[in-house]
Amino acid sequence: MLRTIYSSLVVGLCTFFWAVVSLFFCLFPHLRVKAINFCAHHWASWILAANGVKVRTVGTENIRPRTTYMVVGNHRSYLDIYVVFAARVLDCRMVAKKELTRIPIFGSILKRSDSIIVDRGNREQAVNAMKTAGARLRQLGLSIVTFAEGTRATPDVILNPLKKGGFILAGQLGIPVLPFTIHDTGKLQPKGALAIHPGTVTIVFGKPIPMDNYEKPSDVRPVVRRVQEEIESTFLALRAEAERRDQREQAL
């Protein structure tokens, strides 16, 4: 109970502080993009650090500076969002559901930050929003992050089937797909929980997959399958590594 109250306060206060700072910088158009990048990184880092969560980042050599990627990964916890920003290897914006814009202050900065806001109940709106905002993010040199499962996976599932929308947008924009895998966020903050427990989270970035040959939506199928298999295999490898580590610690 105390952990839930503490984590909720940390998230609330950090979000309020950095959202206000971001809104201030939105008054200066020439500073807005860089300022929001700065605020997003520090917002996420503060929340994780205050809750005793460390981030181990693998595969940064696969990321080229000032390159726009469609960043596609697994989703098991709210912590995943903080981890992506706290890793500090990408200047990026999230594909966010419309409901998040209703949160006071946070919703205001979300709408002003060039994030892609989609109405999951209106497919046409979602497609148009992704096309319009995606093109702008490419112009700004920002990557697009999407949790392509569409929802957080339950503990008994390795990876839900990936939705094709983000992959199609990557093909239309001509930007590479960058797969990533996050492990242990579901353990530190399980689905449905507010409490954040201390520990170490690993995020692994794979090699970018070019989308230069895209012509029609069906062209993304082999890419979707490749990313699905890569995330699943990486997650299983990370889980096996964590189990071996736990066994060694118990044996000491």
Q: How confident is the model at residue 54, as a pLDDT?
A: 97
Q: How confident is the model at residue 147, as a pLDDT?
A: 93
pLDDT band for position 156 (50/70/90)? Answer: confident
**What are the phi and psi torsion angles at 95 (to 5°)?**
-85, 115
- The pLDDT tens digits for 88-110 are 999 999 888 888 888 777 788 88
Tell me 209's DSSP state.
B
Sheet strands (E) in 125-225 = 143-146, 177-183, 199-205
Residue 120 pLDDT greater than 80, yes or no? no
Determine the Cα angle at 32 with ends 58 and 123, to 5°. Answer: 70
Average confidence (pLDDT) over 139-153: 90
- The pLDDT tens digits for 53-69 are 999 999 999 999 889 99
Nearest of 170, 238, 155, 160 to residue 204 by alpha carbon? 238
Q: How confident is the model at residue 96, as a pLDDT?
A: 80
Nearest of 117, 94, 95 to residue 43 by alpha carbon? 94
Q: Collect all residues with Cβ–Cβ distance below 8 Å to 217 and sequence separation of at least 6.
A: 164, 168, 171
pLDDT band for position 16 (50/70/90)? Answer: very high
Nearest of 97, 102, 99, 76 to residue 202 by alpha carbon? 76
Q: How confident is the model at residue 47, as a pLDDT?
A: 97
pTM of the model: 0.90
Domains of the chain and CATH, by start: 2-251 (3.40.1130)
- The pLDDT tens digits for 33-59 are 999 999 999 999 999 999 999 999 999
Q: How confident is the model at residue 68, as a pLDDT?
A: 93
